[in-house]
């Protein structure tokens, strides 16, 4: 399995947040600001979460084996869930708790030049990481609109980095606003309110990431329009008479599993068999009949197998992510049509009784 395209963005965010975490803790020890402590906890949580995402991406890139024939791509979503849980309990929970404690028992903060220098440096570093994440996603989206790509197709790790970096930049602005307001008013309440707002922001990010990774672990369908394209390609084949029971699943954002039951056109198979069947003048003897039946059976199997291979090539030409395509041969189409026609037929009038 190829290395996920989100890996560079994860590594950049991991390096940026490690540096920012150290800067924010230094600023907190110098100022005692609750909002700055919230920001330091926020960045520490982000660093740990991005380390989890990095581990998940590396483990999820392993090839399939006998135990996991479809590969280990799901590990990305497991570690994504762990990362989201870390954001919620550490980032959101601890930060909101600290802000509430700041409202219940306010302590004056010591704000100085170092505090604002750290905020400015953190903003530059976090902003650069956010810009890198946006550019990484923009390079992958092709012609699809940016936000649609993020909602429907982007790797959850890329989405996590985008949201975490965005929350980090917005959190810095909230923390700066709280610190400035407390500095000018002399009231630490604004600092505590900023801490609570940063925590709630992290909670929103965590809930979104939990929902996304949960859906992918359970077996989310492919993005809108992919199934319709799959069915269209099947129906365009001259060999296909009917398509039913279409199912899909995203194994990873880069790998889909598509399944359908297909009824082949008898005339198509008959033409292929006519080419495979050798001419046999007159009545066939027992040996000739057996040889002919073997030839017919072999021709039928080969015709269906070759056509399924051709269908898979045609599907992958328009859906490159279709790594696994299951085509099941369905020969009960006419029976179902007959049953449906019978079910729609008006009821007959009851016959006359056999006795008076």
- pLDDT at residue 5, rounded to an integer: 64
CA distance 25 to 115: 10
The C-alpha atoms of residue 95 and residue 178 are separated, in whole angstroms, by 14
Give CA–CA dist 274/271, Å, rounded: 5
Residue 262, SS3?
Answer: strand
CATH architecture of the domain 7-218 equals Up-down Bundle (1.20)
Sheet bearing 255-264, strands edge to edge = 240-252, 255-264, 322-329
For residues 33 and 107, the answer to whether their CB atoms sit within 8 Å is no
From the list 300, 308, 307, the residue with the least C-alpha distance to 327 is 308
- pTM of whole model > 0.75? no
HEC profile of 225-256: CHHHHHHHHHHHCCCEEEEEEEEEEEEECCEE
pLDDT tens, position by position, for the chain (356 residues)? Answer: 445 567 788 888 888 888 888 888 887 887 777 667 777 877 787 788 888 888 888 887 788 777 787 778 888 888 888 888 888 887 788 788 878 888 888 776 666 677 778 878 888 888 888 898 888 888 888 788 888 888 877 887 888 888 888 888 888 888 888 888 887 887 878 888 888 888 888 888 888 888 888 888 888 888 888 999 999 999 999 888 889 889 999 888 788 999 999 988 877 777 776 665 556 555 555 566 667 667 777 777 788 888 899 999 999 999 998 989 999 887 665 555 545 444 444 554 444 443 43
Each domain of the chain, given as residue ranges in start order, spans 7-218, 226-344
* DSSP secondary structure letters along 6-42: THHHHHHHHHHHHHHHHHHHHHHHHH--HHHHHHHHH
Which residues does residue 259 pair with via DSSP β-bridges, in sequence order? 247, 326
- The candidate with the shortest Cα–Cα distance to 58, out of 16, 5, 4, is 4
Angle at 21 between CA 213 and CA 48, to 5 degrees: 30
CATH number of 226-344: 3.30.70.1350
- pLDDT at residue number 67: 79
Beta strand ranges found along the chain (DSSP E): 240-252, 255-264, 322-329
The DSSP code for 301 is: H
Q: What b-and-e string marks burial along 257-286, b requiring 16 or more CB atoms within 10 Å of the CB?
A: bbebbbbbeeebbeebbeeeeeeeeeeeee
């Amino acid at each position: 399995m190829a290395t996920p395209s989100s890996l560079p963005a994860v590594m950049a965010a991991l390096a940026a947040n490690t540096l920012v975490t150290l800067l924010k803790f230094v600023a907190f020890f110098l100022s005692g600001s609750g909002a700055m402590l919230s920001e330091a906890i926020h960045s520490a949580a982000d660093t740990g979460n991005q380390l989890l995402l990095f581990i998940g991406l590396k483990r999820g890139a392993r090839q399939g084996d006998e135990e996991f024939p479809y590969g280990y791509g799901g590990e990305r979503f497991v570690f994504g869930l762990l990362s989201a849980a870390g954001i919620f309990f550490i980032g959101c929970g601890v930060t909101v708790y600290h802000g509430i404690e700041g409202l219940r028992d306010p302590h004056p903060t010591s704000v100085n030049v170092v505090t604002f220098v750290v905020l400015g440096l953190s903003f530059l570093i976090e902003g650069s990481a956010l810009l890198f994440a946006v550019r990484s996603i923009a390079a992958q989206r092709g012609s699809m609109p940016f936000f649609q790509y993020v909602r429907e197709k982007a790797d959850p790790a890329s989405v996590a980095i985008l949201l975490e970096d965005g929350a980090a930049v917005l959190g810095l602005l909230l923390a700066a606003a709280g610190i400035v307001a407390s500095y000018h008013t002399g009231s630490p309440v604004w600092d505590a309110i900023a801490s609570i707002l940063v925590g709630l922001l992290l909670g929103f990010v965590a809930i979104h990431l939990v929902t996304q990774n949960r859906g992918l672990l359970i077996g989310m369908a492919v993005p809108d329009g992919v199934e319709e394209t799959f069915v269209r390609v099947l129906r365009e084949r001259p060999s296909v008479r009917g398509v039913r029971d279409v199912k899909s699943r995203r194994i990873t954002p880069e790998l889909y599993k598509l399944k359908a039951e297909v009824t082949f056109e008898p005339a198509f198979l008959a033409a292929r068999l006519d080419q495979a069947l050798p001419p046999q003048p007159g009545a066939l003897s027992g040996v000739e009949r057996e040889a002919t039946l073997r030839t017919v059976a072999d021709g039928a199997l080969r015709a269906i197998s070759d056509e399924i291979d051709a269908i898979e090539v045609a599907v992958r030409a328009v859906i490159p992510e279709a790594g696994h395509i299951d085509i099941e041969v369905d020969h009960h189409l006419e029976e179902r049509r007959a049953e449906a026609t019978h079910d729609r037929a008006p009821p007959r009038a009851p016959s006359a009784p056999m006795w008076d």
